Amino acid sequence: MLGGGVQSAAVEPGLVPVLFVHGMNSDPTMWDEPITGTDRSLEQTVVEDVEGVQTFRFDYRAVALEWVDAEGSGPALAGTLACLARAADRKAVVVAHSLGGLATQFALGRTPVAADGTHPHVAAAITLGTPFTGSQLLAYFQDIREAGAELDAVDGNDAQTQAFDAALTTCAELGLADLRAGRRNRCDVIAVADGPLGTALQPSSDEIGRLPSWPDGVALLPLAGEIETGAALFDPRPPDLPDLIGPGALFRLPTLIRTVEGGVGVGDLAVGLDSARAPDPAVSPLRCRALDAPDDAFLLDCFHRNLQRNPVLAGSVLRTVQAAVQSQLPDPVETVDWTDRSYPMTCSGVSDGPFTAVVAGGSGTGPGDGTHDEYIVEVLAVAVDDLTGDGRSEAVVSLLCAPRNVSPNYFTVELHVHGPGPELLATLVAPPGPGPSEFGIEPRLTGLPSVEDGVITHDVDYWVGADPRAGSSVTLARSWRWNGTTFEVVS
């Protein structure tokens, strides 16, 4: 088992791992919630609509009220991403909500990037409402505490301050107990206000400042929600607030409220727009409007806790995952220049052992051995078809091979079958047939290959008995078909 409850044995090589990371007041079940207007969750949509992926969930709820340097959070996430990428032989994609995005940022800083600036384990990350510069809602709680202290100073006692502090402390204890017991945090974001995480998530805190820079080699899409409502619903200074407290001290939402047409914008309530988009302010936010009362905002799918249910943001996630998968697909055979590359060969068994022929412009040579000084190699033809039934094309490359300084009639032909990548799937030579030849002449592929309906067909010359070397006794069409593991002769 990897960190965060991820099962390493379940990783399927060749599939891009997509790791979903929950937020601070959530658990992995948040990824089960259906996208608004559908019966499919975000994770299910990725699985069903993106070919070539395998999804996993990282669970750090036991330390979700601690800063991202806690062992079960960012450090464990770093190890999980590395192991997933190695086991899958593909770079991972991260979809992270809220604090999960900062845990991802911490995790990426744990592994040095390669010399070319790319990160070895992660291709892309999508964050939903991540407080890159802090949570304005937590700053708001701090404002309430300060305003309460001002009111206490007026009244000559500290009753309001003590009551507020006691509520925060109780919520912190309840929230931590809930998460460690596998239950939903009943106090939600209030649970972190009075703890280390609440301090760390204050705007531009020292903890945020110490996070590593986002690696240049990892694509990042910071998605954000913006709730817009009438200005009266978020009046920054209620009329009955004592004047001596100062304008807006009690209900101030620092940098969270933005003036928009017909009202104000308050981010996703927990995280302001500027904070969620800090790595890339050009990313368009998803806008929702709460028209009647502040409580409406908590029902919207651009409220912080509901971002994973938003269909527009889900579309952005889907496109980013698809792009990350496409970027890691092996090169299709149609894009390969088969006349300019290297080929491992044996000259159909003529050489003493395998050698590498270097071809440029369609012709080249291979090194000699104890029998021949050098081998001449020429690309005769390339045929393309889906030979393995996986929906992708394979290439059949016909290669002539002849020892130098030998009769012009003395040559062989090999068929190299390549899949995307290109990956060499098989080397085909003339199969046994009529014979044997009294002169020891081996059968030889002749002419050019053809491919159709997943079958490779090629003429083969056979020498039988005492037939002279100048000509074969019989020419037969032979065929090969993929059986799931190799190409077998079928006729």
Per residue in 286-314, pLDDT (tens digit) is: 777 655 455 566 778 888 889 999 999 99
Report pLDDT for 274: 87
CA distance 421 to 356: 18
Report pLDDT for 253: 42
Task: Give the dihedral of Cα atoms 450, 454, 459, 461; nearest 10 deg.
Answer: 140
DSSP state of 285: P
The yes-or-no verdict on residue 88 having pLDDT over 70 is yes
This prediction has a pTM of: 0.70
CA distance 192 to 268: 17
Greater confidence (331 vs 183) lies with: 331
DSSP state of 18: E
CA distance 4 to 85: 15
Of these ranges, 37-41, 162-166, 462-466, the one predicted with the greatest mean pLDDT is 37-41
Report pLDDT for 142: 60
Note every long-range contact of 253-257, with CB atoms under 8 Å and residues 24 or more positions apart, other chains counting: 253/136, 253/137, 253/140, 254/136, 254/139, 254/140, 254/143, 254/203, 255/136, 255/139, 255/203, 256/136, 256/137, 256/139, 256/140
CB atoms within 10 A of CB 235: 12
Alpha-carbon Rg of the chain, whole angstroms?
Answer: 33
Report pLDDT for 317: 96
The yes-or-no verdict on residue 240 having pLDDT over 50 is no
Percent pLDDT > 90 in the chain is 51
CA distance 491 to 35: 53
The yes-or-no verdict on residue 260 having pLDDT over 90 is no
**The two three-digit tokens of residue 135, written as one number:** 């949570």
Average pLDDT rounded to a whole number, residues 208-230: 88
Helix (H, G, I), strand (E, B) or coil at 225: strand
Q: Are 179 and 163 in contact (CB under 8 A)?
A: no
Residue 55: in which H helix or E strand, if any?
strand 53-58
CA distance 443 to 185: 75
The yes-or-no verdict on residue 245 having pLDDT over 80 is no
Helices (H), 304-448: 311-328
DSSP state of 459: E
Q: Are 224 and 129 in contact (CB under 8 A)?
A: yes
Average pLDDT rounded to a whole number, residues 218-243: 64
The yes-or-no verdict on residue 264 having pLDDT over 90 is no
Backbone angles phi, psi at 141, to 5 degrees: -60, -40
Lowest mean pLDDT among 223-232, 408-417, 455-464: 223-232
Amino acid at 157: N
Distance of alpha carbon 274 from the chain centroid: 25
User: Tokens 């990725």 appear where?
Assistant: 46
Report pLDDT for 316: 94
Report pLDDT for 466: 76
Fold of 3-136+202-328: Rossmann fold (3.40.50)
Average pLDDT rounded to a whole number, residues 28-53: 95
* Mode of pairing for the β-strands spanning 374-385 and 363-367: antiparallel
Average pLDDT rounded to a whole number, residues 160-189: 59
Kindly indicate the confidence band of residue 407, based on its pLDDT and cuts at 50, 70 and 90: confident
Backbone angles phi, psi at 99, to 5 degrees: -60, -25
Q: Are 345 and 414 in contact (CB under 8 A)?
A: yes
Strands ordered across the beta sheet of 487-489: 444-452, 455-462, 474-482, 487-489
The yes-or-no verdict on residue 72 having pLDDT over 60 is yes
CA distance 40 to 33: 8
Report pLDDT for 65: 80
Report pLDDT for 251: 39
Average pLDDT rounded to a whole number, residues 440-452: 90
Q: Which residues face 34 on adjacent strands?
A: 41
Report pLDDT for 397: 97
Domain ranges of the chain: 3-136+202-328, 333-342+380-489
Report pLDDT for 239: 40
Average pLDDT rounded to a whole number, residues 337-347: 96
User: Tokens 């978020």 appear where?
Assistant: 234
CA dist list (Å): 101 to 18, 139, 206, 220, 370: 14, 19, 17, 10, 62
Kindly indicate the confidence band of residue 472, based on its pLDDT and cuts at 50, 70 and 90: confident
Percent pLDDT > 70 in the chain is 76
Report pLDDT for 24: 83
**The two three-digit tokens of residue 487, written as one number:** 């190409």
Whether the bond into 236 is cis, omega within 30 of 0: no
If you write DSSP's letter for every residue of 400-433 in order, what string do you get? EEEETTS-TT--EEEEEEEETBTEEEEEE-PPP-
CA distance 370 to 352: 7
CA distance 123 to 17: 10
